[in-house]
A = this chain, B = another copy of it.
Amino acid sequence: MTEEKIHVAIVEDEDEIRELMQQIIDRSPGFACKHVYKDCESALESIKSALPDVVLMDIQLPGMSGIEGIEKMKPELPDTDFIMLTIRDEEDIVFRSLCAGATGYLLKDTPPVKLLASIREVREGGSPMSPGIARKIAISFQPSKDNPLSEREKEVLTWLANGENYSTISTKLFISGNTVRAHIKSIYRKLQVNSRAQAVITAIKQKLI
């Protein structure tokens, strides 16, 4: 049967927290925590041979940040899941962590029972997230509510974003190329840009299309 323990590694600079977490995890049935590190630099030296199933990674670390750490460790440990542990849930840190390869994101005040459940969950193909963080991520997909562009302009911009040129767009919308140009000028003015690429990028960043 599947009586394998989940091997957990910890990267955390504060001695007390690190040792406490190690004890909690290592003493829990089904878990083992034999490798802990106080910074990413020392983790990178030997974590490859430790071959953990899950790494609990602090973000605020002396020297290399936890985000950079994941970027460096992930290629070495492609089958390891990384769970970020952090005190605050700053928006850009969350997204940068996900981009770096984290598949879990928990606040440090997560109670031990929930922490262990999260480690199990990430191993079973999930992505444990503290509630407020999960909500931020979900909301990040929603389009902007106050979109300065008119319906027609959004339509034109969508075609722009597909790489179509004036004449093609004019054909698709049954209007003249000059009108397309007029709309595009209006879009540029509203988004304060002066090229197609900028318009498209700005629209995506602001979730206008």
Contact B135–A195 (Cβ < 8 Å) = no
Name the interface residues of A120-138: CB closer than 8 Å to any CB of B. Answer: 121, 124-129, 131-132, 134-135, 137-138
B135 touches A103 (CB 8 A): yes
> Residue of B at shortest CB range from A136?
B127
**Which of the candidate stretches A1-9, A42-50, A108-116, A156-164 sits at the interface with the other chain?**
A156-164
Question: A93: CB under 8 A from chain B?
Answer: no
How many subunits of this chain does the assembly comprise?
2
Instruction: Write out the residue numbers on chain B whose beta carbons fall within 8 Å of the beta carbon of A124.
Output: 131
Q: Assess the A99–B142 pair: CB atoms within 8 A.
A: yes
From B138, B195, B196, B201, give the contact of A102 (CB < 8 A): B138
Q: Is A143 positioned at the interface, with any CB of B under 8 Å from its CB?
A: yes
With the chains together, A195 CA to B199 CA distance in Å?
A: 14
Residues B121 and A127 in contact, CB atoms below 8 Å apart:
no
Say yes or no for A101: interface residue by CB 8 A criterion.
yes
- Across the A-B interface, give the 5 residue pairs with the lowest CB-CB distance, nearest first: A126-B131, A163-B198, A98-B141, A127-B134, A127-B138
Q: Which A residues form the contact surface with B (CB < 8 A)?
A: 95, 98-99, 101-104, 121, 124-129, 131-132, 134-135, 137-139, 141-143, 160-163, 165, 193-198, 200-201, 204
Partner of A163 from B128, B135, B197 at Cβ < 8 Å: B197
Residue pair A137, B137 in contact (C-beta under 8 Å): yes
- Contact status A134-B131, CB under 8 Å: no
When distances are taken between beta carbons in the complex, the residues of chain B under 8 Å from A135 are 103, 125-127
